[in-house]
Chains A and B, each alone.
Chain A
Amino acid sequence: MDTDKSRRTVLIVEDEALIRLDIVSTLEVAGFCALEASSSTEGLAILAHHDEIGVVVTGINMPGEMNGLALVRRIIQDHPSICSIVISENAAAQDAYEAGATDFISKPFMVQTFVGTVHKAFRRHEMRQKGFTCLTQDNS
């Protein structure tokens, strides 16, 4: 899977094919490079081979043993500079932040909100790469 390394690269991990298709399309129209995976395991495999990925967008409920929240925890451990955005139903927001997600978007989401959140996540990723500590929303 070749990517254009001059563009910001996002990995989308989502088992619903139509939602994944829409997210990929939205990101590509917005100028990002998008890679996709249908499970957390597949996502981790892609992350291992693509160090240009700066942001991961993941759902929570997915097939296999590892759900999206476990994926977020694993990303923090293995790829600490990568920012994770969780997309799920509204009630899952607290779980997402507790798992370490950078941001949360509730389904169904507005395109403008989604793209804005991805841009914000990339700014945070770039700061992490430079070694700056990012404050969370509540400054903790």
Chain B
Amino acid sequence: MAPRTASEIALNLAMAMIASSDAPLLLLDDNVTVVAASKSFCRAFQIDPASVAGHPLVELGAGEWNVPQLCSLLKATASGYAEVEGYELDLVRSGQGNRRLLLNAHKLDYEDGGNIRILLAVSDVTDARTAERLKEDLLKEKAVLLQELQHRVANSLQIIASVLMQSARNSQSVETRGHLHDAHQRVLSVAAVQKQLSVSNIGQVELRPYFSALCESIGASMIRDHKQLSLDVKTDDSVSSSEVSVSLGLIVTELVINALKHAFPDDRKGKIIVDYHAQGSGWTLSVSDNGVGMSEHGGSAKPGLGTSIVQALARQLQAQIDVTDAKPGTAVSITRTQSAADDSGAKVIPLAKAV
């Protein structure tokens, strides 16, 4: 047997590499005829290895590789006009399920310029594409369910608000009407959190727009002359979870309603300020007015429902209540210290500034 030349050895090595490749590979000539195929290709597509080499691609299997567009692309690759990169193809096999294939083909650049060779790599991405479609369908379904849930919540809150308003209208007692209006306002306070969450991309509540919407709602309901009485919000960029936001909103509602009812008797002019600032992981919420001050508006009276609500919520938030003489007026501060926040792990987060 004559000794093999270096080129024969090199050719044998190349064929062996293709044959043993884990990735399904085909080595084609410029007529799109198979020169060599990997065993993995034959196994994946159930093709007899003996019927591959020397046969046109279009004749492989039961004719499922006879795809005119693919052949055109491979011929263009052989001519050097194109490369096939990430080309997806549906392999239609009668009697078997279709497979989604990802193809990459390159003209091989080697010294034997007379024999053009194209290396075609075939990946079966059927399962990956099915999983992607399933994931997209699930995400769409989740979005629909979330929208339905938001609709249900908004409807339920509207029903509660409507019942309270109807009850207030039908009540003969001024005191009862007042209590029902307050309850109506508390429901709107909770609803304002839901509205913020529905437009939030981060699942948290931005406190500035939340408090602003809340105060606008209270002002529209309870302030007759906005030139006489103003209600301002000064809040930093903090965001908060929905649970903490609801509690903060209810505290603001109670303190603002209390100030509106008691701090400005006899059409006294004035201002109420809602202020919120985070300090590290702690925060301070304050509602202050320049009204008649505590001694005149019932500082020693028995605490009402609103005060009980504020105390209960402050306790829940692990915050401290301070009531001070603002000279003139009153300032009520609810403070959660950094150490209390660190101990409990619950957070209000300063919003990262956009770059």
Residues of A within 8 A of B (CB): 16, 18-19, 21-23, 25-26, 29, 60-61, 88-92, 106-113
Q: Are A19 and B159 in contact (CB under 8 A)?
A: yes
Q: Are B163 and A18 in contact (CB under 8 A)?
A: yes
A-B contact pairs, 18 of them (CB 8 A): A16-B158, A16-B159, A18-B162, A19-B155, A25-B165, A25-B166, A29-B169, A60-B151, A88-B151, A89-B147, A89-B150, A90-B199, A91-B147, A91-B198, A108-B162, A110-B221, A111-B165, A112-B220
How far is it, in angstroms, between the C-alpha of A94 and the C-alpha of B66 when the chains are bound? 49
Residues of B within 8 A of A (CB): 147, 150-151, 153-155, 157-163, 165-166, 169, 187-188, 191, 194-195, 198-199, 217, 220-221
- Which residue on chain A has the smallest CB distance to residue B169? A25
* Minimum-distance CB pairs A-B, first 8: A22-B162, A89-B154, A108-B158, A107-B154, A107-B158, A108-B161, A90-B198, A90-B195
A37, chain B: closest CB distance, angstroms: 17
Q: Are B188 and A89 in contact (CB under 8 A)?
A: no
Selected from B150, B153, B162, B191, the residue in CB contact (under 8 A) with A21 is: B162
Q: Are B191 and A108 in contact (CB under 8 A)?
A: yes
Q: Are B162 and A89 in contact (CB under 8 A)?
A: no
How far is it, in angstroms, between the C-alpha of A61 and the C-alpha of B144 when the chains are bound? 13
How far is it, in angstroms, between the C-alpha of A92 and the C-alpha of B150 when the chains are bound? 10
How far is it, in angstroms, between the C-alpha of A29 and the C-alpha of B151 when the chains are bound? 27
Instruction: Identify 13 new A-B residue pairs, CB closer than 8 A, beyond the known A29-B169, A89-B150, A91-B198.
Output: A19-B155, A26-B165, A88-B151, A89-B151, A90-B150, A90-B154, A90-B194, A91-B150, A107-B154, A108-B158, A108-B160, A108-B187, A108-B191
Most-contacted residue by chain B among A88, A91, A107 (CB, 10 A)? A107
Q: How many A-B residue pairs have CB under 8 A?
A: 72
B260, chain A: closest CB distance, angstroms: 15
The B interface, classified by DSSP as helix, strand, loop or mixed, is helix
Q: Are A16 and B165 in contact (CB under 8 A)?
A: no
B219, chain A: closest CB distance, angstroms: 10
How far is it, in angstroms, between the C-alpha of A133 and the C-alpha of B164 when the chains are bound? 40
Q: Are B198 and A89 in contact (CB under 8 A)?
A: yes
Q: Are B198 and A19 in contact (CB under 8 A)?
A: no
A residues near B195, Cβ cutoff 8 Å: 90, 106
How far is it, in angstroms, between the C-alpha of A16 and the C-alpha of B160 when the chains are bound? 12
How far is it, in angstroms, between the C-alpha of A113 and the C-alpha of B188 when the chains are bound? 13
How far is it, in angstroms, between the C-alpha of A121 and the C-alpha of B215 when the chains are bound? 25
A residues near B199, Cβ cutoff 8 Å: 90-91
Q: Are A108 and B157 in contact (CB under 8 A)?
A: yes
How far is it, in angstroms, between the C-alpha of A16 and the C-alpha of B195 when the chains are bound? 20
Q: Are B155 and A16 in contact (CB under 8 A)?
A: yes
Q: Are A19 and B151 in contact (CB under 8 A)?
A: no
A residues near B160, Cβ cutoff 8 Å: 108
Q: Are B151 and A108 in contact (CB under 8 A)?
A: no
Q: Are A107 and B217 in contact (CB under 8 A)?
A: no
A residues near B162, Cβ cutoff 8 Å: 18-19, 21-23, 108
- Which residue on chain B has the smallest CB distance to residue A116? B220
How far is it, in angstroms, between the C-alpha of A88 and the C-alpha of B150 when the chains are bound? 10
B residues near A23, Cβ cutoff 8 Å: 162
Q: Are A112 and B221 in contact (CB under 8 A)?
A: yes
How far is it, in angstroms, between the C-alpha of A91 and the C-alpha of B163 when the chains are bound? 24
How far is it, in angstroms, between the C-alpha of A51 and the C-alpha of B265 when the chains are bound? 49
Most-contacted residue by chain A among B151, B157, B158, B198 (CB, 10 A)? B158
- Which residue on chain A has the smallest CB distance to residue B191? A108
Q: Are A108 and B169 in contact (CB under 8 A)?
A: no
Q: Are A22 and B157 in contact (CB under 8 A)?
A: no
- Which residue on chain B has the smallest CB distance to residue A15? B155
How far is it, in angstroms, between the C-alpha of A21 and the C-alpha of B161 when the chains are bound? 12
Selected from B151, B159, B187, B220, the residue in CB contact (under 8 A) with A113 is: B220
A residues near B221, Cβ cutoff 8 Å: 110-112
Q: Are A108 and B154 in contact (CB under 8 A)?
A: yes
Quick one: given A22-B165, A89-B150, are A109 and B158 in contact (CB under 8 Å)?
Answer: yes
Q: Are B157 and A107 in contact (CB under 8 A)?
A: yes
Quick one: given A16-B159, A106-B195, A108-B158, are A22 and B166 in contact (CB under 8 Å)?
Answer: yes
B residues near A89, Cβ cutoff 8 Å: 147, 150-151, 153-155, 198
Selected from A25, A106, A112, the residue in CB contact (under 8 A) with B154 is: A106
A31, chain B: closest CB distance, angstroms: 15
